[in-house]
Amino acid sequence: MKKLDLVKLRNDKLYKNFNLVKDMHGIAIEIKYDNADVLFFNPQNVGDYAIANVKIVDLELEKEKLPVELEKELLLRLDDIIAKAKNAIEPIKIKEYDIVELIVEEDRYTKYGIHKGTRGCVIDNNAVQDYIEVDFSGIDKNGEFYGDCISVKIDDLKVIK
Amino acid sequence: MGVFDDLIKIDENGEIVYNQWIEWDHFFITNKPEWLRDILRNIMALFGHCMNCTALDGCYLVTRNMPKQPLHERCDCRKKNITQAIVKRNANAECDIRKFTEYVFKNTQDSKGKNQIFYDLGFNIDDSGYLQTEYNKQALNQYLNGNYVLKNLDRRGQRLAIPISLNGTSFYSGWLLCPEGKIRNTTPFGGWIK
Ligand SMILES: [Zn+2]
């Protein structure tokens, strides 16, 4: 195994504290004797990641490789990536079919007609860069449709139920 | 029946439409294996690449109905022509039954009145399985004919409004476009067709 190899966790027993689960994929960023620092991406939130130290016996080497150009750029940015890494994969606080309320008034929502205080239903379990999909649409007393399905920053929402 | 039957369609207004399919392509991102696609998309996020573009990577669209390329300044995305046969082979529609059991039919407050539309059309929560099957069938068929409306596109992907017809009433349903012709239902009711 070498730096920037793609790996799969084949045993998650020792890593529950990191919220790592079996078969999760990652990038080995530092190999030391019998262990490695591995960058794991949050399967529930694209762009979110943690670095965990894992025993090499608990890893399986994948045959796929990162494109060479990406490896080069990754190496250049690695210190910064490590500095910003979390110590564990963070589960997202909101789940599918939760009823939520928008707690901010921002242009990125008002342009779709969604204002502070509007309630909606979360319609996906996965986030992208902390944004989750919420259906704010509804039917008024006259049978007319209003609202939209948009992505909303998780911190801009409060779970009602 | 020739190959042109798939390319040329008659739409609901009797107009001839031409369906040339493309696959949106963002450099370095593969469709499969899925875990590698996820890793590559995550790396692109770390590098600050446009996530709208990486979300579109691998998605199938008809040329007459797709976001314009380039999507932004210095956008390197390309499009590859693909045959209707590829789209037909790979495409599938996925509507979770909970869209009905846990959302539309849950109660009036949480569905924000959408339950009444389905009650008025003669359906209730016991019909959720039927509705799921019907949505998957109808949406896939509409998508394969290029009959979808492009809605907002962001880091989560391209949303589509796709017509559904139930007991003679037509309306839009909301879907998210995913790689290789997969469409995933977001909301069962996305507005009346006007
Ligand atoms: Zn692009």
Residues B119, B182 within the same domain: yes
Q: Look at the block and give the residue holding tokens 């309630």.
A: A119
Residue A47 phi, psi dihedral angles, 5° rounding: 100, -10
Question: Is residue B76 predicted with pLDDT exceeding 60?
Answer: yes
Per-residue pLDDT of chain A (161 residues; tens, 9 = 90+): 999 999 999 999 999 999 999 999 999 999 999 999 999 999 999 999 999 999 999 999 999 999 999 999 999 999 999 999 999 999 999 999 999 999 999 999 999 999 999 999 999 999 999 999 999 999 998 989 999 999 999 999 999 98
Average pLDDT of span B42-68 = 96
- At B28, list the tokens: 């370095």
% residues pLDDT > 70 (chain B): 95
Residues B116, B165 within the same domain: yes
Give SS3 for B143.
helix
pLDDT score at B5: 55
Determine, for residues A46 and B190 on separate chains, whether the beta-carbon distance falls below 8 Å.
no
% residues pLDDT > 90 (chain B): 86
C-alpha–C-alpha distance, residues B54 and B21, integer Å = 19
Average pLDDT of span B143-167 = 96
The answer to whether position B138 is within a domain reads: yes
**Would an 8 Å CB–CB cutoff place A82 in contact with chain B?**
no
The answer to whether position B2 is within a domain reads: no
Determine, for residues B41 and A46 on separate chains, whether the beta-carbon distance falls below 8 Å.
yes
**Taking a C-beta distance cutoff of 8 angstroms, is the pair A147, A102 a contact?**
no
Residues B109, B156 within the same domain: yes
Residues B179, B120 within the same domain: yes
C-alpha–C-alpha distance, residues B144 and B61, integer Å = 9
**Would an 8 Å CB–CB cutoff place A92 in contact with chain B?**
no
pTM for the model: 0.93
- The total domain count for chain B is 2
How far does the centroid of ligand 1 lie from the alpha carbon of residue B159, in Å? 17
**Would an 8 Å CB–CB cutoff place B154 in contact with chain A?**
yes
The answer to whether position B67 is within a domain reads: yes
Domain end point (choices B60, B89, B118): B89
pLDDT score at B1: 45
Question: Hey, how many other C-beta atoms are within 10 angstroms of the C-beta on B75?
Answer: 15
d(CA B87, nearest CA chain A) in Å: 25
Residues B122, B158 within the same domain: yes
Residues B106, B83 within the same domain: no
Q: Which of residues 76-105 of B touch A (CB under 8 A)?
A: 98-99, 102-103
The answer to whether position B192 is within a domain reads: no
How far lies B111's CA from each of A101, B105, B131, B175, in Å?
14, 7, 16, 17
Provide CB contacts within 8 A for A125, sequence distance 6+. A44, A92, A95, A96
How far lies B144's CA from each of A34, B19, B181, in Å?
52, 9, 9
Q: Identify the helix (H) or strand (E) that includes residue A76.
A: helix A68-83
Residues B113, B59 within the same domain: no
Average pLDDT of span B126-136 = 98
Residues B85, B95 within the same domain: no
Average pLDDT of span B129-146 = 97
How far does the centroid of ligand 1 lie from the alpha carbon of residue B22, in Å? 15
DSSP-assigned beta bridge partners for residue A39: A27, A51
What is the count of residue pairs from A and B with beta carbons less than 8 Å apart? 108
pLDDT score at B6: 63
Predicted-complex ipTM score: 0.92
Q: Look at the block and give the residue holding tokens 């039917």.
A: A139
pLDDT score at B137: 98
pLDDT score at B145: 94
Structural domain harbouring B159: 91-187
Residue B97 phi, psi dihedral angles, 5° rounding: -60, -25
C-alpha–C-alpha distance, residues B187 and B102, integer Å = 12
Task: Tell me the pLDDT band of B15, cut-offs 50, 70 and 90.
Answer: confident
The answer to whether position B1 is within a domain reads: no
Closest CB to A73 among B47, B102, B159: B47
pLDDT score at B10: 72
Determine, for residues A128 and B55 on separate chains, whether the beta-carbon distance falls below 8 Å.
yes
Residues B122, B95 within the same domain: yes
Determine, for residues B186 and A133 on separate chains, whether the beta-carbon distance falls below 8 Å.
yes
